[in-house]
Amino acid sequence: MTPAVDVVLQVIGLRCPMPLLKTKQALSSMEVGQVLKVEATDAGAWRDIPAFVALTAHELLQCEEDGELFVFYIVKGE
């Protein structure tokens, strides 16, 4: 089941490290508890974004790989 999303960030076509940097920027402007959906095409995002989230108070709800598209659902933490 797809989580309810508050903010959608499309970083399609951007190369590493831009997807991760844009994800950090988006999360910093969100309220605690909001859900960010990140859509990326850079394969590096598949490891970088979950690794970043694991080091923060944010929570990775779900990640999906659909061909060349990588989708992440992240809950903004404290």
Residue listed under structure tokens 């399609």: 12
Under 8 Å between Cβ of 38 and 11: yes
pLDDT higher than threshold 90 for residue 1: no
Comparing 3 with 73, the larger pLDDT belongs to 73
Q: What would the pLDDT profile of 19-44 be if each residue is shown by its tens digit? A: 999 999 999 999 999 999 999 999 99
Residue ranges per structural domain of the chain = 7-75
Please tell me the class of the 7-75 domain: alpha beta
Under 8 Å between Cβ of 12 and 41: yes
Kindly name the residue from 16, 18, 63, 71 that is annotated as catalytic: 16
> pTM for the complete prediction?
0.95
16 is catalytic: yes
What is the chain's percent helix, strand, coil content, to nearest 5? 25, 35, 40
